[in-house]
Amino acid sequence: MALAQQDTRRPPGLLSWLVSDDPPGRTVFNAVMLAILLALALAPFLFPGTKALGVSSRICIFVILVASYDLMLGYTGIVSFAHTMFFGIGAYGVAIMLSKGWVGWGAVVLGATAGAAVAAVIAALIGMLSLRLRAIFFSMITLAIASFAQIVAEQWRDLTGGEDGLTFSVPAMLRPSFKLFAEPVLGVVVNGPVITYYITFLVALILFLVMLRVVNSPLGLVLRAIRENEFRVEAMGYQVVAYRTLACVLSAVMAALAGALMALVLRYNGPDVTLSFSLMIDILLMVVIGGMGSLYGAVIGAIVVVLAQYYLQNVLAMVSTAIVGMPVMSALFHPDRWLLWLGIIFVLIVTFLPQGIVGRLRNRR
Amino acid sequence: MKENSLDHLRRWAPYALTPLIVLAALPAIGVGPWLTLTVAGLTMGIMLFLVASGLTLIFGLMDVLNFAHAAFVTVGAYVTVSVLRPLAGWTMQTSLTLNLIALLVALVAAAAASGALGFVFERVIIRQVYGAPLRQILITIGALTVVEQLVIVVWGPEALVLPKPASLRGSVFIGSSPIETYRLAALAVGLVVALAMHLFLKRTRLGLVVRAGVENREMVQALGYHIRRVFIGVFMAGTALAGMGGMMWGQYQETVNSQIGDSMTILVFIILIIGGLGSVGGCFVGAILVGLTSNYVGFLAPKMALGSNILLMALILLWQPRGLFPMADH
């Protein structure tokens, strides 16, 4: 609301238009977000190496996945456990197209579109059937549906490759053997994976700005009103179920597109990569740690958790070699226990900092 | 007159569903395997009931859906491993009495450990989120992750073996149908626990307070009962039941890993949805229904086995959107 007041004082510029008049907020936080944007934009040159490129791609994809989940959880107040299902549908859309003999960009676009369309239809059906119910009922039903989707993906071998998943070849330009320039640029060979990264980055950036526009539109206001008091919104003449369903559909489409990017980056898709319940836990961790009800929180959450997944193990390994003599402590700091520490942080944040890191930064006066 | 009988039918249909499915399965499967599968289904159902009943009681009384319920199943199963290891002398002998005593010790230990953890859990986690459904879901999911990881810290990441006691291995034959001995024992124990729970809820004063609390919490409070104390008691009882379910399930599978609780979570939620959230009777019917369906479908169409319960849930929800035995105000 404070942002609307700023508006009147300053004529809207291009940058302000891009972020839907909803910049991150305080000066420090603006600087942090700008630094993140620059770091991601220059990631292949700043952090060379295959692992770093994989981490950056993952961050871009999860920003979209988490922001779209936040549309439901943080903005509309719906807890769904079927978000990985939509992510998986998008990934399978591309994977099935490319592994069934179709080639080239047409197949990628067609696969992503088909995935997004299927996700939208399923989300609309689930929403219309079960969003009338209490929040808890909806959560349980989506949990069951998500596990059903996982079973289908594992059993329908002809289409999905079963538990082994699908390996496929991406368009020639995205393959590791492809080089855009003969010479390295700034010491980095601009090959297929780098091009894939930039596609991922740009699509993620565009989708993020689109979502920012949605939450700052009148639609976003209605969704937040539903979160605060659904009966009042209903009494004002809005069809709450319709709006909630719309939020679910939007969120599902975004998740499916993120899934399509995931398939392109990995050149593989299987149930463990895009459909597992532990992935759902990761998404919840990211939303809550970053801060619910703020899309910028998705950026922070995705970065913190993805970096923790890849690098917290190293930190824990250092700690556990330092305390190798103590029996219980060394089990607690075992490199594989990173999820324990993230879980503890998660519980502490839900308890003491319900707005998350970003909510705290933005709302402090 | 006609409408009256239709109403009658509508009221009794939920009760008739389970016997109808059992009867319908008979010609489809054939008598021999049918008996085996029915006993297997009832046993699975009663084990699921132990876990689900705790969850549904907690939900009914406190309006808290504990997504971390599975953690107590896991703890119960691991405590069983730790208790039965030093008692190997008792379980390896073929004496039925010694075997049963060992199992009883393990059952009590599992229930006590889960119940004690439940006490801490209610104090530390649940207490802060009464009346906030969104935060409830989030915090219990987070706590589930933490408890599962702590279980790995204590018992290690590898799956542990939990061999069945000597005299409960193998099968007895009824006609030509083999029936695993352990299943009969588990069925008996489960029925005793279910009966005890029924008697507690229907015949004791405290049970009356719990049932009244499910119906109308404020009124019970107004009549001078300390509802928070009842909450803690019910939460501990519910988690203890989950621990018992974990003990029996782990012993049945003969192996315990940190995912054992998670593997039950979805089935338990399906049972709650089918039975009607908060209703213990509905939970019993739902659990038996899920147990039987899994076994029948697993025999008739193995590929469908995993998804059959979710399809069952969808069908029942189309017929009765609020479950078979919905509570008045949930």
Q: Which of A298, A311, A297, A320 is nearest to A342 (CA)?
A: A311
ipTM given for this complex: 0.83
**Is any Cβ of chain A less than 8 angstroms from the Cβ of B197?**
no
Encode pLDDT of A14-36 as tens digits.
Answer: 777 777 777 777 777 788 888 88
Return the SS3 of B160. strand
Q: What is the pLDDT of residues A229-263, one digit of tens each?
A: 888 998 999 888 899 999 999 999 999 999 999 99
Size of interface A-B (CB pairs under 8 A): 92
Which tokens in the block code for residue A227? 């979160």
Least CA distance to A126: which residue of chain B? B314
Residue B2's pLDDT band (boundaries 50, 70, 90)?
low
Q: Calculate Rg over the CA atoms of chain A.
A: 21
B271 at interface of A, judged by CB pairs closer than 8 A: no
> At residue A47, does pLDDT exceed 80?
yes
Mean local confidence (pLDDT), B127-134: 82
Which pLDDT belongs to residue B212? 87
Neighbours of A279 (CB within 10 A): 18
CA gap A48, A193 in Å, rounded: 12
Residue in A140, A143, A244, A346 to test binding to B, most B beta-carbons within 10 Å:
A140
Of A10 and B94, the one with more pLDDT: B94
At residue B226, does pLDDT exceed 60?
yes
Structure letter (DSSP) for residue A164: G
The verdict on a CB contact (< 8 Å) between A140 and B152 is: no
State which amino acid sits at residue A178.
Answer: F
> What is the mean pLDDT of the segment spanning B273-295?
89
pLDDT at A273: 81
Interface test with B, best of A70, A73, A347 (most B CBs within 10 A): A347
A50-59, pLDDT tens digit by residue?
Answer: 888 889 999 9
Predicted confidence at residue A325, as pLDDT, reads 67
**Domain regions of chain A by residue span:** 50-275
Are the Cβ atoms of A328 and B272 closer than 8 angstroms? no
Q: Rounded to whole angstroms, how far apart are CA atoms B328 and A136?
A: 17
Q: What pLDDT is stored for residue A3 in this prediction?
A: 46
How far is residue A301's CA from residue A311's CA, in Å, rounded to a whole number?
15
| Percent of chain B residues past pLDDT 90, beyond the cut | 29
Phi, psi of A10, deg, nearest 5? -120, 135
Nearest beta carbon to residue B266 from set A73, A147, A346 = A147
pLDDT tens sequence across A110-129: 889 999 999 999 999 988 87
pTM, two decimals, is 0.84
Identify which of A137, A147, A354 has the shortest CB distance to residue B135: A354
Judge whether A141 is closer than 8 Å to chain B, CB to CB: yes
Q: Which pLDDT score, from 0 to 100, does residue A10 have?
A: 54
Per residue in B53-66, pLDDT (tens digit) is: 999 888 888 888 88
First-to-final CA distance of chain A: 14
Q: What SS3 state is found at A183?
A: coil
Residue A9 burial (C-beta neighbours within 10 Å; 0-12, 13-18, 19+): exposed
Listed residue (A283, A263, A240, A269) closest to A142, CA to CA: A283
Report pLDDT digits (tens) over A172-216.
Answer: 777 777 777 777 777 777 788 888 899 999 999 999 999 999 999
Residue A11: per-residue pLDDT = 55
User: Does position B237 have pLDDT exceeding 90, yes or no?
Assistant: yes
Using 50, 70 and 90 to split pLDDT, how confident is the model at B146? very high
Contact A157/B at CB under 8 A: no
pLDDT of A363 > 70? The answer is no
* Pairing assessment for the beta strands A268-269 and A166-167 based on DSSP bridges: antiparallel
* A198, amino acid identity: Y
pLDDT at A105: 83
Average pLDDT (A295-301) is: 89
Distance CA B11, CA B20 (A): 15
A29 Cα distance to chain centroid: 21
| Chain A nearest-CA residue for B124 | A351
Q: With contact defined as beta carbons under 8 Å apart, do B324 and B313 qualify?
A: no
Cβ B153–A281 below 8 Å, yes or no? no
Beta bridge partners of A179: A191
- Is residue A2 predicted with pLDDT exceeding 60? no
Which residue of chain A has the CA closest to B272? A140
